[in-house]
A and B are shown apart, each in its own frame.
Chain A
Amino acid sequence: GQQLNQSPQSMFIQEGEDVSMNCTSSSIFNTWLWYKQDPGEGPVLLIALYKAGELTSNGRLTAQFGITRKDSFLNISASIPSDVGIYFCAGQLRTGNQFYFGTGTSLTVIP
């Protein structure tokens, strides 16, 4: 499978702070997806990106599809306690149908 490196691995932040995380790969992707997973549950889609350079927002979340097509970024503004969870990026290769997941970023928000 493909290797998608996600950083940082974990974050501990104060409520109200902004958060940034990214996902990089050596391969070119034509779709980037960002998910949040709570313990014992399946991932929930946050944002989908389909075009290089695309910048998309969903409430306090903003994600960007990197120009090189090898990376993507997710920002969370004004974090709140319910943002706690594990965030995953997922990419679909330019050649193929499969989606591969990043290594995940664990977010802890301190009230």
Chain B
Amino acid sequence: GAVVSQHPSWVICKSGTSVKIECRSLDFQATTMFWYRQFPKQSLMLMATSNEGSKATYEQGVEKDKFLINHASLTLSTLTVTSAHPEDSSFYICSAKPGQTLPGAYSPLHFGNGTRLTVT
């Protein structure tokens, strides 16, 4: 259980174009999803928290107009990299946290397999 699907797994685009990445929770509902970015041999850096039905919360230094996040349903969040540039090339990973249904119950983060973005 707790499967997160991310699509596409890799994408190559030209500088100036926009790219959309989808993150779906397949067997659970996720009121909150998180988007991370990872450069080679580095850790995962949190970009933003995606909240179903409301605006995303962005980490300091992340441009919200460049990285558009939409969390339209309890199972889908999308990240759109607008006007992509070569420096946006990176590994983007989404994660989802199952909603807590029982008092005192906790749930961990489950990750998708990531999207390798290359901007030429």
The interface of chain A, by Cβ under 8 A from chain B, is 1, 31, 33, 35, 40-45, 48, 50, 88, 90, 97-104
Contact = CB atoms under 8 A, between A and B. Distances in A.
Given A42-B93, A99-B34, A99-B95, A31 B44 contact: no
Interface of B: 4, 6, 32, 34, 36, 42-46, 49, 59-60, 91, 93, 95, 97, 106, 108-114, 116
Contacts of B109: 33, 45, 90, 99
B95 to A, nearest CB: 7
A88 B34 contact: no
A101 B108 CA distance: 13
26 contacts: A1-B46, A31-B106, A31-B108, A33-B109, A35-B111, A40-B114, A40-B116, A41-B113, A41-B114, A42-B4, A42-B6, A42-B93, A42-B112, A42-B113, A43-B44, A43-B93, A44-B111, A45-B109, A45-B110, A48-B108, A50-B106, A98-B49, A99-B34, A100-B46, A101-B43, A101-B46
A101 B111 CA distance: 13
Main secondary structure of the interface of A (DSSP, over half): strand
Contacts of B116: 40
